[in-house]
Amino acid sequence: MSDGSGRAPTADGSALRALAAARAETRAMSDRLLDHLPDVGDLATQRLLDGWVEQAADALRALSEMAEERLLDLGRPSTPDGIPTRYAAEHLASGPAAPEGGGR
Amino acid sequence: MSLPTGDPASVSALGGALLTQSGRLADLVTDLGASASRARRRSLDDATGHELLLLERAATELDRVGSLLQAWTATAVEAAARARQLAPDLARADLVVDGQLVVESSGPSRVDPETRARERQRLQELLNRVTMVRARELARLGRELRHSHDALAAVAADARAGRSRGS
């Protein structure tokens, strides 16, 4: 990915750490959200709340996948320069496994 | 007597968790924002602007619904307490609550019929106030949940499509 100047997107170490944290934390948030079993005591509202929790968990999962993709982009040798982002490469070497290949 | 309150503790737990998660997302937004500022100062591309905006939108929704659920918990607990306060008067007049209606309990009663009818009307009005507040808050919660559901669906779609702003 490059802009009009042919310059590849770059990011410093703190951006990559923040992205890595976003990836891990949004995924964990999504899982933890689904552990909740709230009971509002009204059937119609309960359905809405259950649906909202599902949607919120999905949005958090999508954010995690997005951060994962971004980290991979930044770590990938980028055309046309072909210069990998050093920080990303270092981070990805020690980071968690790659995603399983899209949402469920 | 009691109103159907569900389980306020479970709703409060979810509300609290959402507020915590929203705070953490806001921290991540701050971290990414600081990185973006540094990148701009060094004339580098902002590599995380898209992610920052989407995290911010998600944080806003979690915060909004977390606060609403905490408010709903308070309403539900208060409504249940106010409904319980009617119990002694209901018992004195041989009345019971059936759903949202004050009705005469089955079997004979020693309570003067006129007094009983008067009490029934008075207690029904008090119960109506409690149930009305509860119904209004439930309706508000429902509306907000629908709205937030759509906002989060847009966040998920934009995250997967590589866009930072909903259309």
Determine the pLDDT at residue A25: 96
Measured between CA atoms, the residue of chain A closest to residue B162 is A66
Residue A38 lies in a domain: yes
Asked if B93 is an interface residue toward chain A (Cβ–Cβ < 8 A), one would say no
Q: How many domains does chain A have?
A: 1
CB contact residues (below 8 A), chain B span 41-80, against chain A: 42, 44-45, 47-48, 50-51, 54-55, 58, 61-62, 65, 69, 72, 76
Q: How far is A43 from chain B (nearest CA, A)?
A: 10
Measured between CA atoms, the residue of chain B closest to residue A14 is B35
User: Is a pLDDT exceeding 80 seen at residue A92?
Assistant: no
Contacts of B11 in chain A (CB under 8 A): 38-40
Chain segment B93-119, per-residue pLDDT in tens: 999 998 889 999 998 889 999 999 999
Q: Peptide bond preceding A80: is omega within 30 degrees of 0, i.e. cis?
A: yes
Contacts of A63 in chain B (CB under 8 A): 51, 54-55, 58, 155, 159
Chain segment B54-69, per-residue pLDDT in tens: 999 999 999 999 999 9
Residue A101 lies in a domain: no
3-state secondary structure chain B: CCCCCCEHHHHHHHHHHHHHHHHHHHHHHHHHHHHHHHHHHCCCCCCCHHHHHHHHHHHHHHHHHHHHHHHHHHHHHHHHHHHHHCHHHHHHCCEEEECCEEEECCCCCCCCHHHHHHHHHHHHHHHHHHHHHHHHHHHHHHHHHHHHHHHHHHHHHHHHHCCCCCC
Residue A13 lies in a domain: no
| Inter-chain CB proximity A41 and B7 less than 8 Å | yes
**Helix, strand, or coil (residue A39):** strand
Give the pTM. 0.79
Q: Which residue has the tokens 């319980």?
A: B84
Beta partners for residue B96, in sequence order: B103
User: Is a pLDDT exceeding 70 seen at residue A89?
Assistant: no
Average pLDDT (B131-138) is 93
Asked if B148 is an interface residue toward chain A (Cβ–Cβ < 8 A), one would say yes
| Inter-chain CB proximity A10 and B138 less than 8 Å | no
Determine the pLDDT at residue B163: 62
3-state secondary structure A45-102: HHHHHHHHHHHHHHHHHHHHHHHHHHHHHHHCCCCCCCCCCHHHHHHHHHCCCCCCCC
| Inter-chain CB proximity A48 and B61 less than 8 Å | no
Q: What is the mean pLDDT of chain B?
A: 90
Residue A1 lies in a domain: no
Average pLDDT (A80-85) is 40
Residue A9 lies in a domain: no
Task: Tell which residue, B35, B23, B55, has the closest CA to residue A63.
Answer: B55
Asked if B111 is an interface residue toward chain A (Cβ–Cβ < 8 A), one would say no
Asked if A17 is an interface residue toward chain B (Cβ–Cβ < 8 A), one would say yes
Residue A5 lies in a domain: no
Determine the pLDDT at residue B45: 64
User: Is a pLDDT exceeding 50 seen at residue A101?
Assistant: no
Q: How far is A94 from chain B (nearest CA, A)?
A: 20
Under 8 Å CB-to-CB from B34, ≥6 apart: which residues? A14
The residue range of the domain holding A60 is: 18-94
- Indicate the angle between helix axes A86-94 and A43-75, nearest 10 degrees: 120
Residue A12 lies in a domain: no
DSSP character at residue A35: T
Task: Count CB-CB contacts under 10 A for residue A79.
Answer: 11
Residue A58 lies in a domain: yes
Chain segment A24-70, per-residue pLDDT in tens: 999 999 999 999 999 999 999 999 999 999 999 999 999 999 999 98
Contacts of B39 in chain A (CB under 8 A): 10-12, 15
| Inter-chain CB proximity A59 and B146 less than 8 Å | no
Task: Count CB-CB contacts under 10 A for residue A98.
Answer: 10
Average pLDDT (B43-51) is 73
